[in-house]
Structure 1
């Protein structure tokens, strides 16, 4: 079991456990703290987190900035990769392609997903599907983050 999965399993049993996990996760990659992510689902092949709409992440329109959304998608993808990847492999992101599909006028749930068979193939190029949605289901961002998955040396 990965360190991220163990930390989630341990903290999620505590009062405010998902918030505790989110703070600890952001310590591992400090830039993620800028969006104050709140992880809500962590399981192999699926991670969800909330990027709260607050002034610090606003753009000039008063909506959640596109790069804050990308940061949320990357945090979700990173947690997904850590809890999903087989122990004999390693990963590194190699690119992100996103489309901004609507204004992010509220809190945004960032979702990263893969299919189990993607992790067992020999192709090192692994696309992770990502999207961000408002509470009413409006999709505000969607795309793919490509990982390079290779055997551990």
Structure 2
């Protein structure tokens, strides 16, 4: 089990903290590993193999000149979700590094944004090179505001 999965299980499973507080603890801890993620104040809601979700709260610090969540904040959320997904999904004998990102902005991000990263287990089991992680950002009303792929380079650990 990966360190990220252990942290999720421990922080969300502590009875006296409760799941909502545990998710906040996990989100803060994860953001310290890669401090740039803290700029969007992600709130992880689902962390499981092949599926991760987090919320980017709409606040002044992530808004652009028209008052919507900035495109780069959306990308930051996608990368955070992808990173957590990769850590909890990748087989123990492999390693990963991001290689590129292909994103389309499809609507205004005018609310809190739920960012979703997804893969299929077969992608990881047979990975020797490229793995494409599907990512999307969704408004509170269900409208997809950005979507794309983050390409990872996956190789055997040496």
TM-score normalised per structure 1:
0.98
Residue in 2 aligned with 1:138?
A: 143
Alignment match, 1:51 = 56
Aligned residue for 2:108, secondary structure, equals coil
- In the TM superposition, what whole-angstrom CA distance separates every residue of 1:84-115 from its partner, at most 9, and x where no partner exists? 00000000000000000000000000000000
* Aligned residue among 123, 126, 146 for 2:131: 126
- Deviation of 1:121 (Å): 1.2
Q: Could you tell me whether the CA contact under 8 Å between 2:95 and 2:157 is conserved in 1?
A: yes
Deviations 1:108-147 (A, max 9, x none): 0000000010001144100000000012110000000000
**CA–CA distance in structure 2, aligned partners of residues 90 and 42 of structure 1:** 19
| Residues in 2 aligned to 1:64 and 1:115: alpha-carbon distance in whole angstroms | 29
TM-score with structure 2 setting the length: 0.95
Residue equivalent to 1:100: 105
After superposition, the Cα gap between the structure-2 partners of 1:37 and 1:122, relative to the gap in structure 1 and judged at 3 Å, is closer
Counterpart Cα distance in 2 of 1:102 and 1:123: 35
Q: Unpaired segments of 5 or more residues in structure 1?
A: none
Q: Residues of 2 paired with 1:82 and 1:18: CA distance?
A: 17
Residue aligned with 1:61, SS? coil
**Residue pairs, 1:3-152, within 5 angstroms:** 3-13=3-13, 14-15=17-18, 16-152=21-157
Closer, same or farther: CA 123–152 of 1 in aligned 2, 3 Å: closer
Runs of 4+ off more than 2 Å: none
SS at structure 2 position matched to 1:12: helix
